[in-house]
Amino acid sequence: MAKAPGKAAPERSRSAEETEQIRQALTERRDELQAEYDQSLTELTVMQRERLEDSAGDDQADTGTKTLEREQEITLANNLLERVTQVERAIERLGEGNYGWCERCGNAIPVERLAAFPVATRCVSCKQLEERR
């Protein structure tokens, strides 16, 4: 996106110490999410095995309930995987020098937003515009 004439691009500088602190926090978060995801896959496998062993005599309602539970567990696992991917992307952006800068307008993302949502890729204004569409 082109910048308005006469408007200087914001300076994108961060000390090596700040960058390392952010990288460490993001890496820890990614590792936590990855551990949750791995645990959910293990639980899914165990649940699936139990369902197969314990499905004799199930009627349609039992089968439907078990299917719904399995789909919910799969959805939760997929959400965890998506969050892991978002954090990995934030780590990549940090390495590229783009972390903390809006992908749409190029302005700084407020520190408060990054503290609440460390994988944010858009400033509040651009995110609001995106959600209105």
Write the pLDDT tens digit of every residue in 62-121: 777 878 888 999 999 999 999 999 999 999 999 999 999 999 999 999 989 998 999 999
Per-residue pLDDT, 24: 95
pLDDT of 7 higher than 60: no
Specify the 3-state DSSP secondary structure of 108. strand
How many other C-beta atoms can be found within 10 angstroms of the C-beta atom of residue 18? 11
Write the pLDDT tens digit of every residue in 14-53: 788 888 999 999 999 999 999 999 999 999 888 888 777 7
Residue 125 structure tokens: 């204004």
Cα–Cα distance between 72 and 64 in angstroms, integer?
12
Q: DSSP per residue over 62-103, as a string?
A: HHHHHHHHHHHHHHHHHHHHHHHHHHHHHHHHHHHT-TTB-T
Residue 5 structure tokens: 């004439």
Closest CA to 22 of 85, 96, 102: 96
Give this prediction's pTM: 0.76
Write the pLDDT tens digit of every residue in 10-23: 556 678 888 899 99
